[in-house]
Amino acid sequence: MSTTPAKPKFQLKMGMATREAYGQALAELGRSNPNVVALDADLMKSTFAAKFAKEFPDRFWSTGIAEANMVSIACGLAMCGKIPFASSFAVFIMDKGYDQLRVGAAYPKVNAKFVGSHSGISIGEDGPSQMSVEDLALACGLAGFVVLAPSDEFCTRALVHRMAEHIGPCYMRTGRPKTAILYGPEDTFEIGKAKVHGDGRDLAIIACGNEVAYALQAQAELEEEGIHARVLDMHTIKPIDEAAIAAAAKECGAIVTAEEHLLDGGLGSQVARAVTRSTPVPMEFVGIQNTYAESATPDQLMEKYGLTTPYIVKAAKAVLKRK
């Protein structure tokens, strides 16, 4: 592939990957709460669970390449009063552990937390067998689960702590590449409450994960053309912030969603369902179009599969024509 994405005019400073922020937050939890334990399926250096393992070796278990077993062990630990955080690549923990997540975690509503790293196609050269492009849809299909997709390191750290406080099963996706810094240590995050950027009333762009940075770049480019957009960082996919979505639909009259995930069953599907319950408005959807990606650099993949800033701008202009 030779595609070279155009550099956006509005630049954001890059920080650490959300997977690394998860590892830091998990270690913080270990220091403050002795009931927090951790598990990993032979990928602790990649998921950054190794930070916890090094500091608390007697509260960490590596299950080897056995994700289904890891999920079951986590559920058992939760039933014994522990707060387990089990991590692996998103494609492995969701695809290989789904039956156990359903029967062992969702059905009995156990207080277990699951974290899928290397999500989406921005994992890059590892190719489609390692890319989880359906994990949000699968997680949302688990009754009673909280489903999270943080956008930067500060969002990730805060939501890891919210996961520990929440009673019930949770799933969070994290990513491999470094992410743009969107927030600071003073920012607060709540499960089920979106972060709103701007008060534009021409349209709303609702995004999650890495797409939030692209959405903010699109917001800046549209502003230069006299189009005033607001951006919603929908870090919680389930339970989704229906109040923020209803306000965006009513006040803006048009919505674009953006996600590094298949359009089937992901953020766009959740937002559309909320919109139909409040104020139906024209919508456009930026996401992966019913396909698996190939192997290339993260930048090449995000551009080829239509997930970067220009595609959000294009979707915004298209939805405005239907407003």
- The CATH class that applies to domain 195-321 reads alpha beta
pLDDT at res. 12: 85
The pTM (predicted TM-score) of the whole model is 0.95
- Positions marked active-site: 67
Asked whether residue 3 carries a pLDDT value surpassing 70, the answer given is no
Distance, in Å, from the CA atom of 47 to the CA atom of 61, rounded to the nearest integer, reads: 14
Contacts of 321 (CB under 8 A, 6+ apart): none
- What is the DSSP secondary-structure string of 31-84? HH-TTEEEEESS-HHHHTTHHHHHH-GGGEEE--S-HHHHHHHHHHHHHTT-EE
Asked whether residue 159 carries a pLDDT value surpassing 80, the answer given is yes
Per-domain boundaries in the chain: 16-180, 195-321
As given in the structure block, the two tokens for residue 228 are 């005033």
- The reply to whether 16-180 and 195-321 are identical in fold is yes
Question: 160: pLDDT confidence band, cut at 50, 70 and 90?
Answer: very high
Lowest mean pLDDT among 9-23, 33-47, 264-278: 9-23
Residue matched to tokens 């995050």: 189
Superfamily of domain 16-180: Thiamin diphosphate (ThDP)-binding fold, Pyr/PP domains (3.40.50.970)
Distance, in Å, from the CA atom of 84 to the CA atom of 54, rounded to the nearest integer, reads: 16
Share of the chain above pLDDT 90, in %: 96
pLDDT mean across residues, the chain: 96
How large is the average pLDDT for residues 268-279? 97
Supply the Cα-derived Rg of the chain in whole angstroms: 19
Asked whether residue 140 carries a pLDDT value surpassing 70, the answer given is yes
- pLDDT digits over 45-75, tens only? 999 999 999 999 999 999 999 999 999 999 9
Q: Which of 261, 287, 256 is nearest to 271 (CA)?
A: 256
Whether the bond into 239 is cis, omega within 30 of 0: yes
